[in-house]
């Protein structure tokens, strides 16, 4: 009985854990949908978050470098930490300008990636020729569209990408939580059925021996 109670408690904990994962996924999906509606706010929010991450990472790196003073890592750690702190301060103080620069960088990445995929697909012509060609054309077109409306595109591009990332991450967490709860339920039902069958077999009375 004690083992059954322990197993039931562990099953309940697992189901609650997967339930919390699914709930977090719902929150991320809602945040992603809101961000897709208010892309300007999502852009500023993502840039401020990025700036604070740079600033905190720089401070932590600086503390780590100070702890490692006297080693070859010290000056490299100090320089990297100072760059992160400076970049974090700039992004926090000027999130609009940082969004414009990051949008330009993203557009150039789309352009170069699209060109390389197009050229590579035409030269190699491998088994994924069509898919690589479509990816290259899409990246090239996206880069051109972003650059054509830059810098006004910086008001929604970063926020749109950030919101889409939240949306897809949330959908993945919901699928993980739902699937995990379903698997835990199936396993617990199977174990309960096996226990019932085992107890029924052990508790059945022995057949009387018929006299010859």
Model confidence band, residue 1 (pLDDT cutoffs 50, 70, 90): very low
The yes-or-no verdict on residue 36 having pLDDT over 80 is yes
- pLDDT (0 to 100) of residue 202: 54
CA dihedral 61, 62, 65, 66 (to 10 degrees): -150
For residue range 137-185, what is the model confidence (pLDDT) as tens digits?
A: 878 888 888 888 787 777 878 888 888 888 888 888 888 888 887 887 7
Model confidence band, residue 2 (pLDDT cutoffs 50, 70, 90): very low
The yes-or-no verdict on residue 51 having pLDDT over 70 is yes
- pLDDT (0 to 100) of residue 166: 85
Provide the residue ranges of all domains of the chain, joining segments of one domain with +.
16-187
The yes-or-no verdict on residue 17 having pLDDT over 60 is yes
Q: Rounded mean pLDDT of 108-126?
A: 79
d(CA 48, CA 66): 27
SS3 track for the chain: CHHHHHHHHHHHHHHHHHHHHHHHHHHHHHHHHHHHHCHHHHHHHHHHHHHHHHHHHHHHHHHHHHHCCCCCHHHHHHHHHHHHHHHHHHHHHCHHHHHHHHHHHHHHHHHHHHHHHHHHHHHHCCCCHHHHHHHHHHHHHHHHHHHHCCCHHHHCHHHHHHHHHHHHHHHHHHHHHHHHHHHHHHHHHHHHHHHHHHHHHHHCCCCCCCCC
93-126: string of b/e by CB count within 10 Å (b at 16+)? eebeebbbebbbebbeebbebbeebbeebeeeee
71 contact partners, CB below 8 Å, separation of at least 6: none
d(CA 202, CA 196): 10
- pLDDT (0 to 100) of residue 4: 53
For residue range 55-83, what is the model confidence (pLDDT) as tens digits?
A: 898 888 888 888 877 777 777 888 888 88
Q: What is the pTM assigned to this prediction?
A: 0.64
């Amino acid at each position: 009985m004690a083992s059954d109670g322990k197993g039931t408690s562990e099953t309940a904990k697992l189901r609650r854990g997967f339930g919390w994962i699914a709930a977090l996924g719902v929150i991320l999906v809602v945040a992603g949908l809101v961000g897709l509606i208010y892309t300007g706010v999502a852009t500023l929010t993502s840039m401020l978050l990025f700036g604070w991450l740079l600033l905190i990472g720089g401070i932590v790196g600086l503390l780590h470098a100070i702890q490692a003073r006297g080693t070859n890592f010290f000056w490299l750690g100090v320089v990297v930490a100072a760059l992160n702190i400076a970049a974090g301060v700039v992004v926090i103080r000027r999130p609009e300008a940082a969004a414009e620069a990051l949008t330009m960088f993203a557009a150039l990445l789309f352009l170069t990636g699209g060109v390389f995929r197009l050229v590579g697909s035409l030269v190699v012509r491998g088994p994924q020729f069509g898919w690589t060609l479509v990816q290259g054309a899409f990246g090239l077109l996206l880069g051109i569209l972003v650059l054509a409306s830059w810098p006004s595109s910086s008001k929604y591009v970063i926020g749109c990408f950030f919101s889409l990332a939240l949306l897809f991450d949330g959908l993945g967490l919901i699928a993980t939580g739902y699937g995990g709860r379903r698997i835990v339920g199936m396993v617990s039902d199977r174990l309960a059925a096996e226990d019932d069958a085992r107890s029924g077999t052990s508790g059945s009375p022995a057949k009387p021996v018929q006299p010859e």
